[in-house]
């Protein structure tokens, strides 16, 4: 069987990466995706870099046993902490995610940029370099506890969290809000309602899906005859698997 028929491994610390998976399924409907949520070890964003590298190696080993042809790190935190290590250690293409500061900088006029992400993402040197290039003066907004609300599908709780958070900033002087964690993408429509019309929202799911497609094409790994399939797996509980199924169906405006 040709390698193009093999599955694509996608992972996150939990359900967040399902937002990116939705974008991938949309533009690559013939592919077979295996999505792994490392819920038992979530959150990654309040851990150390070393811990996340260790956890990510464990997840990757499980996915490699399934003969994946490419790996998507559907997590900004894990990408910042471990993408370089994985690219050194694996022989398959590795696609990562980073906070969408570049598109935010293109939209920017005379106002500010808020980057919502986990503490670990915002601490990475990789992120510092991104800030220097595209985000001069952008404000880092660590959102401890927000991913947990998405994991629990506590949309009211997330709404309250965000209202409090945004109350601390002058949104009328904000050109863009970057959703730098895949969990927050499920809150995009809610956030849209809270922001003035002038403020754009940027996030990386569609960009990552397109990058995956380009990388597969370049490596002659595109599956052009498959029927399309998604396997959802978790290190968590069966209830968490049900959440994953629901979020795969939840509407996201890309």
Binding site for ligand DGL (CB under 6 A): 12-13, 16, 42-45, 75-77, 118, 121, 147, 181-183
Q: Is 181 a catalytic residue?
A: yes
Of 6 and 12, the one with the shorter C-beta distance to ligand DGL is 12
Q: Are 188 and 204 in contact (CB under 8 A)?
A: no
- Least distance from ligand DGL to the Cβ atom of residue 13, Å: 3
Quick one: angle between helices 18-27 and 238-249, nearest 10?
A: 50
| Strand 32-37 relative to strand 94-95, pairing | unpaired
In this structure, what are the phi and psi dihedrals at residue 92, rounded to the nearest 5 degrees? -100, 160
- Run of H or E residues at 52: helix 49-64
Q: What share of the chain is helix, strand, coil (3-state, %, to 5)?
A: 50, 15, 35
Length of the chain (residues): 254
Catalytic residue among 68, 70, 73, 75: 75
- Least distance from ligand DGL to the Cβ atom of residue 108, Å: 22
In this structure, what are the phi and psi dihedrals at residue 34, rounded to the nearest 5 degrees? -110, 115
- Least distance from ligand DGL to the Cβ atom of residue 112, Å: 22
- The alpha helices in 65-202, defined as continuous H runs, are 76-89, 101-107, 119-123, 125-134, 146-151, 155-167, 188-194
Catalytic residue among 28, 78, 177, 181: 181
- Least distance from ligand DGL to the Cβ atom of residue 120, Å: 7
Q: Are 211 and 96 in contact (CB under 8 A)?
A: no
- State which residue has the least CB distance to ligand DGL: 45
Q: Catalytic residue positions?
A: 75, 181
């Amino acid at each position: 069987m040709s390698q193009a028929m093999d599955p694509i491994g996608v992972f996150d610390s939990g359900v967040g990466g399902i937002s990116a998976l939705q974008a991938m399924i949309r533009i690559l409907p013939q592919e077979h995706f295996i999505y792994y949520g490392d819920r038992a070890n979530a959150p990654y964003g309040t851990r150390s870099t070393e811990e996340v590298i260790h956890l990510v190696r464990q997840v990757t080993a499980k996915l490699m046993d399934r003969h994946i042809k490419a790996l998507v790190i559907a997590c900004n935190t894990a990408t910042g902490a471990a993408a370089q290590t994985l690219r050194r250690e694996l022989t398959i293409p590795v696609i990562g995610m980073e906070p969408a500061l570049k598109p935010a900088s293109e939209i920017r006029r005379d106002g500010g940029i808020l980057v919502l992400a986990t503490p670990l993402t915002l601490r990475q040197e990789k992120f510092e370099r991104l800030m220097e290039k595209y985000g001069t003066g952008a404000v880092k907004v660590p959102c401890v506890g927000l991913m947990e609300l998405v994991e629990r599908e506590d949309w009211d709780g997330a709404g309250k969290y965000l209202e409090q958070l945004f109350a601390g900033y002058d949104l009328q002087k904000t050109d863009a809000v970057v959703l730098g964690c895949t969990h927050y993408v499920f809150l995009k429509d809610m956030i849209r309602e809270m922001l003035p019309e002038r403020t754009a929202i940027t996030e990386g799911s569609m960009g990552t899906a397109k990058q995956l497609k380009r990388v597969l094409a370049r490596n002659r790994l595109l599956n052009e005859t498959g029927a399309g399939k998604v396997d959802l797996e978790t290190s968590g509980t069966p209830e968490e698997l049900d959440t994953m199924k629901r979020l795969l169906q939840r509407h996201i405006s890309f």
